[in-house]
Amino acid sequence: MDAGRIRRAALRDSILEQASKRVLLMGILNVTPDSFSDGGAFFDSAAAIAQAQRMETEGADILDIGGESTRPGAAPVSAEDEAQRVLSVLPGLCADASRVVSVDTYKASVARKAAGAGAVIINDVWGMTRDTDMAHAVADTESAVVVTYNRGKADPDLNLVDDTRAFFDRAFTVTQAAGVPREHVILDPGVGFGKTWEQNFAVLARLDVLLDYGAPILIGVSRKSFIGKLLDRDVDDRLTGSLAAGLASVLRGASIVRVHDVGAHADALKMWKAIGEAG
Protein backbone atom coordinates (compact mmCIF):
# COMPACT_ATOMS: atom_id res chain seq x y z
CA MET A 1 0.00 0.00 0.00
CA ASP A 2 1.43 3.39 -0.98
CA ALA A 3 1.95 6.24 1.48
CA GLY A 4 -1.01 8.24 0.18
CA ARG A 5 -3.42 5.35 0.64
CA ILE A 6 -2.07 4.66 4.13
CA ARG A 7 -2.58 8.32 5.07
CA ARG A 8 -6.12 8.35 3.71
CA ALA A 9 -7.03 5.15 5.53
CA ALA A 10 -5.69 6.52 8.80
CA LEU A 11 -7.64 9.77 8.39
CA ARG A 12 -10.80 7.86 7.43
CA ASP A 13 -10.61 5.58 10.45
CA SER A 14 -9.77 8.45 12.78
CA ILE A 15 -12.68 10.66 11.72
CA LEU A 16 -15.17 7.76 11.84
CA GLU A 17 -13.99 6.88 15.33
CA GLN A 18 -14.36 10.51 16.40
CA ALA A 19 -17.91 10.55 15.01
CA SER A 20 -18.78 7.76 17.44
CA LYS A 21 -17.61 9.82 20.40
CA ARG A 22 -18.51 13.47 19.71
CA VAL A 23 -20.35 15.76 17.32
CA LEU A 24 -18.30 16.79 14.30
CA LEU A 25 -18.69 19.86 12.10
CA MET A 26 -18.40 19.55 8.34
CA GLY A 27 -17.69 22.91 6.71
CA ILE A 28 -19.27 23.55 3.30
CA LEU A 29 -16.97 24.82 0.58
CA ASN A 30 -18.53 25.16 -2.86
CA VAL A 31 -16.13 25.82 -5.73
CA THR A 32 -19.06 26.64 -8.00
CA PRO A 33 -20.46 29.79 -9.60
CA ASP A 34 -24.10 28.94 -8.81
CA SER A 35 -24.63 27.25 -5.43
CA PHE A 36 -27.72 28.50 -3.62
CA SER A 37 -25.91 30.26 -0.77
CA ASP A 38 -22.23 30.89 -1.50
CA GLY A 39 -22.13 30.38 -5.27
CA GLY A 40 -19.21 32.25 -6.82
CA ALA A 41 -17.71 33.33 -3.51
CA PHE A 42 -14.98 30.67 -3.55
CA PHE A 43 -14.80 29.79 -7.23
CA ASP A 44 -11.21 31.06 -7.25
CA SER A 45 -8.86 28.42 -5.84
CA ALA A 46 -6.96 30.88 -3.63
CA ALA A 47 -10.21 32.14 -2.12
CA ALA A 48 -11.37 28.56 -1.61
CA ILE A 49 -8.21 27.55 0.25
CA ALA A 50 -8.36 30.68 2.41
CA GLN A 51 -11.98 29.89 3.30
CA ALA A 52 -11.04 26.30 4.15
CA GLN A 53 -8.36 27.53 6.53
CA ARG A 54 -10.84 29.99 8.06
CA MET A 55 -13.40 27.25 8.70
CA GLU A 56 -10.79 25.02 10.30
CA THR A 57 -9.79 27.83 12.62
CA GLU A 58 -13.44 28.19 13.59
CA GLY A 59 -13.75 24.49 14.39
CA ALA A 60 -14.45 22.48 11.21
CA ASP A 61 -13.44 18.83 11.54
CA ILE A 62 -14.17 17.98 7.90
CA LEU A 63 -14.13 20.13 4.76
CA ASP A 64 -16.76 19.22 2.16
CA ILE A 65 -15.81 20.39 -1.34
CA GLY A 66 -18.53 20.71 -3.97
CA GLY A 67 -17.92 21.19 -7.68
CA GLU A 68 -21.56 21.11 -8.80
CA SER A 69 -24.52 22.92 -7.30
CA THR A 70 -27.23 20.61 -5.95
CA ARG A 71 -29.85 23.33 -5.56
CA PRO A 72 -33.18 22.70 -7.34
CA GLY A 73 -33.02 23.87 -10.95
CA ALA A 74 -29.24 24.15 -11.09
CA ALA A 75 -27.67 23.53 -14.49
CA PRO A 76 -25.97 20.11 -14.80
CA VAL A 77 -22.19 20.06 -14.88
CA SER A 78 -20.18 17.51 -16.85
CA ALA A 79 -17.94 15.11 -14.96
CA GLU A 80 -14.92 16.70 -16.62
CA ASP A 81 -15.83 20.24 -15.53
CA GLU A 82 -16.77 19.13 -12.02
CA ALA A 83 -13.49 17.26 -11.61
CA GLN A 84 -11.53 20.25 -12.87
CA ARG A 85 -13.17 22.51 -10.28
CA VAL A 86 -12.58 20.09 -7.43
CA LEU A 87 -9.02 19.27 -8.44
CA SER A 88 -8.16 22.97 -8.58
CA VAL A 89 -8.29 23.05 -4.76
CA LEU A 90 -7.80 19.46 -3.56
CA PRO A 91 -4.00 19.25 -3.92
CA GLY A 92 -3.57 22.44 -1.89
CA LEU A 93 -6.02 21.31 0.77
CA CYS A 94 -4.70 17.77 1.04
CA ALA A 95 -1.09 18.94 1.31
CA ASP A 96 -1.87 19.12 5.03
CA ALA A 97 -1.60 15.46 6.00
CA SER A 98 -3.98 15.91 8.97
CA ARG A 99 -6.84 17.52 7.02
CA VAL A 100 -9.98 15.46 6.41
CA VAL A 101 -11.52 16.37 3.07
CA SER A 102 -14.85 15.20 1.69
CA VAL A 103 -16.02 15.66 -1.89
CA ASP A 104 -19.69 16.29 -2.64
CA THR A 105 -20.34 14.36 -5.86
CA TYR A 106 -22.65 11.69 -7.23
CA LYS A 107 -20.35 10.83 -10.15
CA ALA A 108 -18.05 7.83 -9.71
CA SER A 109 -15.37 9.22 -12.03
CA VAL A 110 -15.14 12.42 -10.00
CA ALA A 111 -15.06 10.40 -6.78
CA ARG A 112 -12.13 8.33 -8.05
CA LYS A 113 -10.15 11.41 -9.08
CA ALA A 114 -10.91 13.18 -5.82
CA ALA A 115 -9.77 10.20 -3.78
CA GLY A 116 -6.63 10.04 -5.88
CA ALA A 117 -5.95 13.66 -4.92
CA GLY A 118 -6.42 12.92 -1.21
CA ALA A 119 -10.14 13.14 -0.39
CA VAL A 120 -11.21 10.71 2.33
CA ILE A 121 -15.02 10.87 2.16
CA ILE A 122 -17.38 10.76 -0.82
CA ASN A 123 -20.62 12.64 -0.09
CA ASP A 124 -23.23 11.37 -2.57
CA VAL A 125 -26.47 13.37 -2.40
CA TRP A 126 -28.15 10.76 -4.63
CA GLY A 127 -27.31 7.88 -2.31
CA MET A 128 -25.51 5.91 -5.03
CA THR A 129 -28.65 5.74 -7.19
CA ARG A 130 -27.55 8.01 -10.05
CA ASP A 131 -24.25 6.33 -10.91
CA THR A 132 -24.19 2.55 -10.63
CA ASP A 133 -20.39 2.57 -10.39
CA MET A 134 -20.32 4.74 -7.26
CA ALA A 135 -20.29 1.90 -4.72
CA HIS A 136 -17.39 0.29 -6.59
CA ALA A 137 -15.56 3.63 -6.70
CA VAL A 138 -15.94 3.93 -2.92
CA ALA A 139 -14.75 0.35 -2.42
CA ASP A 140 -11.81 0.63 -4.84
CA THR A 141 -10.55 3.86 -3.26
CA GLU A 142 -11.24 2.65 0.30
CA SER A 143 -13.17 5.83 1.02
CA ALA A 144 -15.91 6.51 3.54
CA VAL A 145 -19.23 7.40 1.94
CA VAL A 146 -22.19 9.56 2.89
CA VAL A 147 -25.37 7.94 1.56
CA THR A 148 -28.22 10.45 1.27
CA TYR A 149 -31.88 9.46 1.30
CA ASN A 150 -33.02 11.07 -1.94
CA ARG A 151 -35.96 9.71 -3.92
CA GLY A 152 -35.56 12.39 -6.60
CA LYS A 153 -39.24 13.36 -6.58
CA ALA A 154 -41.37 14.22 -3.58
CA ASP A 155 -44.40 12.05 -2.78
CA PRO A 156 -46.62 13.50 -0.05
CA ASP A 157 -48.51 10.23 0.36
CA LEU A 158 -45.68 7.82 1.14
CA ASN A 159 -44.99 6.35 4.56
CA LEU A 160 -41.78 8.22 5.28
CA VAL A 161 -40.49 5.86 7.95
CA ASP A 162 -41.01 2.75 5.83
CA ASP A 163 -39.56 4.40 2.73
CA THR A 164 -36.50 5.63 4.61
CA ARG A 165 -35.82 2.14 5.92
CA ALA A 166 -36.32 0.58 2.49
CA PHE A 167 -33.94 3.11 0.89
CA PHE A 168 -31.14 2.49 3.36
CA ASP A 169 -31.69 -1.27 3.38
CA ARG A 170 -31.08 -1.19 -0.39
CA ALA A 171 -28.06 1.07 0.07
CA PHE A 172 -26.42 -1.36 2.49
CA THR A 173 -27.12 -4.23 0.10
CA VAL A 174 -25.37 -2.29 -2.68
CA THR A 175 -22.36 -1.29 -0.57
CA GLN A 176 -21.94 -4.80 0.78
CA ALA A 177 -22.04 -6.29 -2.72
CA ALA A 178 -19.39 -3.82 -3.88
CA GLY A 179 -17.11 -4.57 -0.94
CA VAL A 180 -17.60 -1.38 1.10
CA PRO A 181 -17.27 -2.20 4.80
CA ARG A 182 -20.42 -1.31 6.75
CA GLU A 183 -18.37 0.79 9.15
CA HIS A 184 -17.37 3.11 6.28
CA VAL A 185 -20.97 4.20 5.63
CA ILE A 186 -22.47 7.46 6.95
CA LEU A 187 -26.22 8.08 6.65
CA ASP A 188 -27.91 11.37 5.72
CA PRO A 189 -31.74 11.68 5.78
CA GLY A 190 -31.51 14.14 2.90
CA VAL A 191 -33.29 17.26 4.09
CA GLY A 192 -34.29 19.23 0.98
CA PHE A 193 -33.86 16.34 -1.45
CA GLY A 194 -36.98 14.77 -2.96
CA LYS A 195 -39.24 15.72 -0.07
CA THR A 196 -42.20 17.95 0.58
CA TRP A 197 -41.76 20.89 2.93
CA GLU A 198 -43.48 18.99 5.73
CA GLN A 199 -41.37 15.88 5.16
CA ASN A 200 -38.19 17.83 5.75
CA PHE A 201 -39.31 18.39 9.34
CA ALA A 202 -40.54 14.81 9.63
CA VAL A 203 -37.21 13.19 8.71
CA LEU A 204 -35.47 15.31 11.34
CA ALA A 205 -38.06 14.40 13.94
CA ARG A 206 -37.62 10.68 13.21
CA LEU A 207 -33.85 10.27 13.21
CA ASP A 208 -34.43 7.23 15.41
CA VAL A 209 -35.17 5.41 12.13
CA LEU A 210 -31.47 5.81 11.27
CA LEU A 211 -30.09 5.04 14.72
CA ASP A 212 -31.07 1.40 14.25
CA TYR A 213 -28.35 1.02 11.59
CA GLY A 214 -25.56 1.86 14.01
CA ALA A 215 -23.90 4.20 11.50
CA PRO A 216 -22.90 7.85 11.96
CA ILE A 217 -25.72 10.24 11.01
CA LEU A 218 -24.94 13.39 9.04
CA ILE A 219 -27.38 16.30 8.96
CA GLY A 220 -27.27 19.04 6.33
CA VAL A 221 -29.81 21.77 7.07
CA SER A 222 -27.68 24.91 6.87
CA ARG A 223 -29.52 27.87 5.26
CA LYS A 224 -31.94 25.57 3.42
CA SER A 225 -35.23 26.70 1.97
CA PHE A 226 -37.45 24.85 4.46
CA ILE A 227 -36.01 27.15 7.14
CA GLY A 228 -36.57 30.22 4.98
CA LYS A 229 -40.18 29.26 4.32
CA LEU A 230 -41.00 28.66 7.98
CA LEU A 231 -39.31 31.81 9.26
CA ASP A 232 -39.79 34.01 6.18
CA ARG A 233 -36.05 34.63 5.91
CA ASP A 234 -33.78 35.09 2.89
CA VAL A 235 -30.89 32.69 2.42
CA ASP A 236 -28.37 34.95 4.18
CA ASP A 237 -30.65 35.39 7.21
CA ARG A 238 -31.22 31.77 8.23
CA LEU A 239 -28.49 31.26 10.83
CA THR A 240 -30.86 31.11 13.81
CA GLY A 241 -33.03 28.51 12.11
CA SER A 242 -29.98 26.54 11.03
CA LEU A 243 -28.62 26.48 14.58
CA ALA A 244 -31.96 25.35 16.01
CA ALA A 245 -32.40 22.58 13.43
CA GLY A 246 -28.81 21.44 13.88
CA LEU A 247 -29.02 21.22 17.67
CA ALA A 248 -32.41 19.49 17.51
CA SER A 249 -30.80 16.92 15.21
CA VAL A 250 -27.85 16.41 17.55
CA LEU A 251 -30.28 15.78 20.42
CA ARG A 252 -31.89 13.07 18.26
CA GLY A 253 -28.61 11.34 17.47
CA ALA A 254 -26.82 13.20 14.66
CA SER A 255 -23.03 13.04 14.97
CA ILE A 256 -21.97 15.15 11.96
CA VAL A 257 -23.51 18.53 11.13
CA ARG A 258 -22.81 20.02 7.70
CA VAL A 259 -22.77 23.83 7.91
CA HIS A 260 -21.81 27.11 6.26
CA ASP A 261 -21.35 29.10 9.50
CA VAL A 262 -18.80 26.97 11.32
CA GLY A 263 -17.96 29.38 14.15
CA ALA A 264 -21.56 29.92 15.22
CA HIS A 265 -22.32 26.20 15.20
CA ALA A 266 -19.12 25.46 17.14
CA ASP A 267 -20.23 27.94 19.81
CA ALA A 268 -23.70 26.41 19.99
CA LEU A 269 -22.29 22.90 20.35
CA LYS A 270 -19.85 24.05 23.03
CA MET A 271 -22.71 25.55 25.04
CA TRP A 272 -24.86 22.43 24.57
CA LYS A 273 -21.99 20.21 25.71
CA ALA A 274 -21.24 22.34 28.79
CA ILE A 275 -24.86 22.22 29.90
CA GLY A 276 -24.97 18.47 29.41
CA GLU A 277 -21.77 17.91 31.37
CA ALA A 278 -22.99 20.13 34.21
CA GLY A 279 -25.95 17.82 34.73
| Closest by Cα among 26, 109, 8 to 68 | 109
Give the full edge-to-edge strand order of the sheet including 121-124. 185-188, 144-148, 121-124, 101-104, 62-66, 24-30, 256-259, 218-220
How far apart are alpha carbons 71 and 147 in whole angstroms?
A: 18
How far apart are alpha carbons 174 and 154 in whole angstroms?
A: 23
Query: What are the residue ranges of helices labelled H in 3-103?
Result: 3-19, 45-58, 79-87, 90-94
Query: 198-219 in b/e burial notation, b at 16+ Cβ within 10 A?
Result: ebbbebbeebebbeebebbbbb
Of the residues 8, 12, 113, 224, only one is catalytic, namely: 224
Rounded-to-10 torsion of CA 32, 26, 196, 193: 50
DSSP E strands in the chain: the ranges are 24-30, 62-66, 101-104, 121-124, 144-148, 185-188, 218-220, 256-259
How far apart are alpha carbons 126 and 110 in whole angstroms?
A: 14
Of the residues 153, 258, 270, 273, only one is catalytic, namely: 258
Per the annotation, the verdict on 8 as an active-site residue is: no
CA 176 to chain centre: 21
Please tell me the number of Cα atoms within 13 Å of 96 on its side-chain side.
Answer: 13
Per the annotation, the verdict on 182 as an active-site residue is: no
Residues labelled as active-site residues: 224, 258
